[in-house]
Amino acid sequence: MPSEPVENYLKAIFSLGAESGTGQASVGRLAAIVGVTSGTATSMVRRLAREGLATYRRYGGVRLTPRGRRAAADVIRRHRVLEAFLVSVVGMDWAEVHEEAERLEHAVSARLIDRLDQMLGRPRADPHGDPIPDAQGVVLPAGGMPLGAFRAGDQVRLIRIADQRADVLRFLAGAGLVPGASITVRSTQPGADAMAVRAGRRSTVSLSMAAASRIIVEPLQLRARPGPTPRQSARR
């Protein structure tokens, strides 16, 4: 079983790879996410390669092997099942479960995770809308596109929130912006780099485009417009 630091690097490479689309992760970004210096990340990445969990070329980035991807999916599954359990069964606030799961994910057995998953009715997503890998390590592709790509008049459904910061999550929940919510785009203010949206019949709130880019949605009804519809070019 991989050590706790190794599990964290695997998780980080996995999400950087998903984000880049190519599966490739740069050592610098990896170091930043894990919270170590780049030299440390380099030597860890060399070790992962030596152990067959990743492939790596000097100055050429890192990517997971199938074995590495499987190990990463296991950690992510533990994390997300724990988050769902802490919210649904224990009644913790969704804004604070991330941190707790971040530590528990390395200590919990596969048996217990499966038991919790069963108690929850094998949910497909965690409280933030992130898909939960199954016990075989199969991860459904995330899907959806950033709220920031839509325009005034569009109606969308919130799929997931790609942000784990407790204060951000608390603000969003306060405005009704939780997975499943139906959202109307009221206006965009390109000058202010912001947009105004409302969830259901809640009051309208303003979001920076940076925040809106981390709210992943699917279209429900788009206002007629010229030109092409927004694509899944989820550059952030």
Partner DNA sequence: GGCTAGTGTTTGATTCGTCAAACATTGTAT
Partner DNA sequence: ATACAATGTTTGACGAATCAAACACTAGCC
Establish if 95 lies at the interface with a copy of itself (CB under 8 A).
no
State which of residues 25, 48, 76, 86 lies at the interface with a copy of itself (CB under 8 A): 86
* Residues between 33 and 92 that touch DNA (CB under 7 A): 34-47, 56, 58-61
Q: What is the DSSP string of 144-187?
A: -EEGGG--TT-EEEEEEE----HHHHHHHHHTT-STT-EEEEEE
Residue 112 contacts which entry, DNA, a copy of itself, none (Cβ below 5-8 A, type-dependent): a copy of itself
Q: CB 11 → a copy of itself: shortest distance, Å?
A: 16
Establish if 108 lies at the interface with a copy of itself (CB under 8 A).
yes
* Residue tagged 């929850």 (tokens): 120
State which of residues 1, 58, 109, 201 lies at the interface with a copy of itself (CB under 8 A): 109
Establish if 116 lies at the interface with a copy of itself (CB under 8 A).
yes
Residue 53 contacts which entry, a copy of itself, DNA, none (Cβ below 5-8 A, type-dependent): none
CB 127 within 8 A of CB 97: yes
Establish if 89 lies at the interface with a copy of itself (CB under 8 A).
yes
Establish if 90 lies at the interface with a copy of itself (CB under 8 A).
yes
Quick one: 40 or 164, whose CB is closer to DNA?
A: 40
Residues contributing to the site for a copy of itself (CB under 8 A): 86, 89-92, 96, 99-100, 103-104, 106-109, 111-112, 115-116, 119
Residues contributing to the site for DNA (CB under 7 A): 3-6, 26-29, 34-47, 56, 58-61
